[in-house]
Structure 1
Amino acid sequence: MGWTYKVHGGVAAGSGAVVLALAVLTWVPGTSPLFEPRWVVPTALVPAFLIGMSAFVRVLLTKSDKSELWQAFRCLPGKAQAGLAALAVVVALLALGVGAGDSRDVEVRDGSYFAYDAQAHRMVEVAKSEYQALLPGSRRLFLTISGGLLVGASWAVLAAGEVRRADRGVADR
């Protein structure tokens, strides 16, 4: 596998681990100020989108199907497989937690605090304490999506790199 695949996959996996760690921190009491700034979600989503799209292009360029990619993934070193599997388990657990928890959207407008009310289908004004209680949950969903996309991109790039390596090995014979 070429070094660009290794770097791309490593950056995606490392970034995914950081974003997933931030998502896990949303359950820790007292970390609300960490998630208060508006830049937290775009800082996770934009790189995840860009890395994910470039991984998608690399997979398309290999012209292989899912079964070939799965076989290529199985040819990766055991530590790489275990690391990606562990990150995938974290994504799955976070997704289950997001589905079971209260992840309503919250925002601040003109010094007032608002949260999405599903029954009224609109944003309603809430107390600051309720806003602070809902804030980590609202960020958790987007951090989990970003982390999942990064882990998936890492898996895809490393598998595509193995397919390319195997194709070159066959072509050299």
Structure 2
Amino acid sequence: MGWTFKLHAAVAGVLSVSMLTVAMVTALPGMTAVPGAHALALVGIACLFPLFLAGQVRLVRARATKATTWLALLCLPAAVRAALVVLVGGGFALSFLSIAWSANLQDPEIRDGRYYAFDTHRGVRETVEVSRSQYEGALTADAVVMLATPAVFLAVAAGAVLVAGELRRSPVAVGGGAPRRPGGGYVQA
């Protein structure tokens, strides 16, 4: 696997880990949004699209199919596979738990010293006045979702790049059947 694949996966993985760590700290009881969480969310979202798109392009260029993708994933070290599963699973769990904890309140705001949030629980969806604790809970839930959701996609991007790198490195090992050149390397089909 080339160094560009490793660098691409490392950038996506580090962003995913940092965003999930800040999301977990934010989700702790009694915590509000960690200082700098919104800036990290903006950086993560800004990096998400190019990293994810480049990962998908690398998979297409490696001519990945369902079967070869699965075999290449199995060729990755167990620790790497476990880390990807933890990142994706942890991101999903944090997102769903924070949505459940938010008590169906979204978009918290302060107007004229009062706390308001959009209530999706009642039959009529409207902006209602809420207590300070409900406001802080909705604010925390929004911050967690804004961090955890892009972190999942960044972890998927890291996995896609590693799979593409494995496919490009050793197509014979994953059933590609490409013959070896006499001087080394593989003949592109």
Aligned pairs for 1:47-126 within 5 A: 47-102=47-102, 104-108=105-109, 113-118=115-120, 119=122, 120-126=124-130
Q: Does the 8 Å contact 2:33/2:143 carry over to 1?
A: no
Q: How does 1:116-155 map to 2 (within 5 A)?
A: 116-118=118-120, 119=122, 120-155=124-159
Q: In the alignment, is the contact (CA less than 8 A) between 2:33 and 2:139 conserved in 1?
A: no
Q: How far does residue 30 in structure 1 lie from its aligned partner after superposition?
A: 3.9
Larger Rg: 2
Question: After the TM superposition, which of the residue ranges 137-146 and 22-31 deviates more from structure 2?
Answer: 22-31
Provide TM-score, normalisation by structure 1: 0.83
Provide the secondary structure at the position in 1 that maps to 2:171.
helix
Which structure has the higher relative contact order (CA within 8 Å, separation 6+)?
1
Q: Does 1:29 align with 2:33?
A: no
Deviation at 1:64, TM superposition (A): 1.4
Q: Shift in Å at residue 109 of structure 1?
A: 5.5
- TM-score by length of structure 2 reads 0.77
In the alignment of these two chains, the number of paired residues is 173
Structure with bigger helix share is: 1
Task: Provide the secondary structure at the position in 2 that maps to 1:167.
Answer: coil
User: 1:82/1:105 Cα in 2 relative to 1: closer, same or farther (>3 Å)?
Assistant: same
| Displacement after TM superposition at 1:15 (Å) | 1.0
Distance 1:71 1:37, change over 3 A: closer
Partners of 2:82 and 2:37 lie apart in 1 by 34
Correspondence for 1:159: 163
- Structure 1 residue 35: Cα displacement: 6.0
Q: Aligned to 1:105, what secondary structure does the other structure show?
A: strand
Distance 2:99 2:152 in 1: 15
**Deviation beyond 6 Å, 4+ runs, structure 1:** none
- Consecutive unaligned residues of structure 1, counting only runs of 5 or more, are none
Give the aligned residue type for 2:61. L
Cα distance, 1:110 vs structure 2: 5.3
Aligned twin of 1:6? 6
| Runs (5+) with no aligned partner, structure 2 | 182-189
